Amino acid sequence: MSGPFAYRGTDLWVEQLPLSGIVEQVGTPCYVYSRNAIEDRWRRFDTAFGMAAHRVCYAVKANPSLAVLGLLAGLGSGFDIVSEGELRRVRRAGGDPRKVVFSGVGKTVAEMRYAIGEGIDCFNVESESELERLERTAAAMQAHVRVSLRVNPDVDPDTHPYIATGMRDNKFGIPIAEAPRIAAAMKGMRHLVLVGLDCHIGSQLVSLAPFEDAFARILELAQMLRASGHRLEHLDAGGGLGVRYRDEDPPEPQQYVDRLLAMLAERGLSDLALIIEPGRAIIGEAGILVTTVEYLKSVPSRRFAIVDAGMNDLLRPALYDAWHEIVPVRRRAGPESTYDVVGPVCESADFLGRGRQLCIMEGDLLAVRTAGAYGSSMGSHYNSRLLPPEILVDGDRFEIVRARAAYETLWAGERTMGEQAPLVTPLSRGK
Ligand code: LLP
């Protein structure tokens, strides 16, 4: 095991700290991230471009923790957002709105207004109706808005169907064949400027081939639009580069970027800037979920390790049948048994891993690996469970970047029917 989480003797460490020491202070379940791993991964994408004009826009949905966003903002990252909430997080963490692209099929008028007001760089528009709405909204604000058309290139990304987004039948993007007509119609929209094209075909892609297929189609479209007088400034290849959960061997950022740049050059389009929107490949391997074995329980056909983290903390196994490596925080000597590692939530889909070989006892700590992306960000309060705390480790020190929540946070803003609503007015606040 390598990377930021590695054994020293029998104990699992993160950077220069033993995990057990951290957990003693914050309890479980908790997410633990490595600052160096996050920054190293972002830099690998960024430096891969060399002198070529580019922007790495971290996909906030992968992990929107203020601490993560703050680190990346500090490196000069751009951000790919899909909601007003994500943009507010980016702003709160010190991110530059002029480096933000706004994706997503369902942008509301309120979200458009907020994003225009904040001065984001570009809207990645996914339908004709959205384009018309954006034109009306921009006109009402007397603003000029930069637009990239998100096209659907109809490419099979060879990943789980729930995270494939660039096939003909997916809800995402504008069918590529319609893009020239829509781009032409944009010439009549006085508040919108077409500056780019983008696509995002899916997530956890472990080979370059689908990226190449999609990008080739985008390049062909870019040439066509240029020939008909559109002044494009950038192409955005989306996110999607995979990570290693088990035995996958995804391309390195450098290989991926080299290929995109080479394809731009082959088509004579090297004057266009390149945007990418990686999420998982930056944060995935930089985080783990630590959990305690509460009970060991056997039924005739199997053994369960019932742990204190559940599908509300890490939904990926339940939702996508995703495989995450589960390892002990302190290795024991002794024979292993086969366990289904399950959570306390009242659903049979509440498992973190099935059929795992472990030598464990009640009270032991387990680490669920490669949980930095789409772990915490997909967390919920289901079963009225608290969101876990989050810890960021930097060398031999750590910070609690999300505190363990208080139970009152579970019902914040709620009241029983007929109960007096709390009076919070600007005048009474703070008194
Ligand atoms: N850009 C757009 C427009 C996206 O929709 C996504 C992810 C990304 C970038 C970042 O993709 P990444 O580099 O992280 O693969 N919850 C699922 C993943 C959903 C991804 C949705 N879109 C999972 O846990 O596997």
| Residue 221: exposure state from Cβ atoms within 10 A (0-12, 13-18, ≥19) | buried
Output DSSP code: residue 369.
Answer: -
pLDDT-based confidence at residue 3 (cuts at 50, 70, 90): confident
CA distance 374 to 108: 24
Catalytic machinery residues: 346
Counted residue by residue, the chain has a size of 431
CA distances from 237 to 77, 131, 148, 295 (A): 16, 20, 11, 46
Residue 431, pLDDT > 50, answer: no
- Residues with CB under 6 Å of ligand 1 are 59, 62, 80, 103, 163, 165, 200, 203-204, 238-241, 277-281, 316, 320, 373-374
Among the residue ranges 54-58, 114-118, 236-240, 416-420, the one predicted with the least confidence is 416-420
pLDDT of residue 427: 58
- 3-state SS, 146-214, equals EEEEEEECCCCCCCCHHHECCCCCCCCCEEHHHHHHHHHHHCCCCCEEEEEEECCCECCECCCHHHHHH
User: 5-32+284-411 with 35-283: one CATH topology?
Assistant: no
Nearest-atom index, ligand 1, CA of 280: 14
The amino acid at 35 = R
Domain 5-32+284-411 has what CATH class? mainly beta
Task: Compute, in angstroms, the gap from residue 83 CA to the centroid of ligand 1.
Answer: 14
Give nearest CA residue, ligand 1 atom 7.
203
* Segment 121-155, tens digit of pLDDT: 999 999 999 999 999 999 999 999 999 999 998 88
pLDDT-based confidence at residue 430 (cuts at 50, 70, 90): very low
CATH of 35-283, one of 3.75.10.10, 3.30.360.10, 3.20.20.10, 3.40.50.720: 3.20.20.10
As a whole number, mean pLDDT of residues 198-210 equals 95
Q: Which of 200, 257, 320 to mutate to test the pocket of ligand 1 (most atoms within 8 A of CB)?
A: 200
pTM of the model: 0.96
* Segment 358-384, tens digit of pLDDT: 999 999 999 999 999 999 999 999 999
Output DSSP code: residue 419.
Answer: P
Domain boundaries, the chain: 5-32+284-411, 35-283
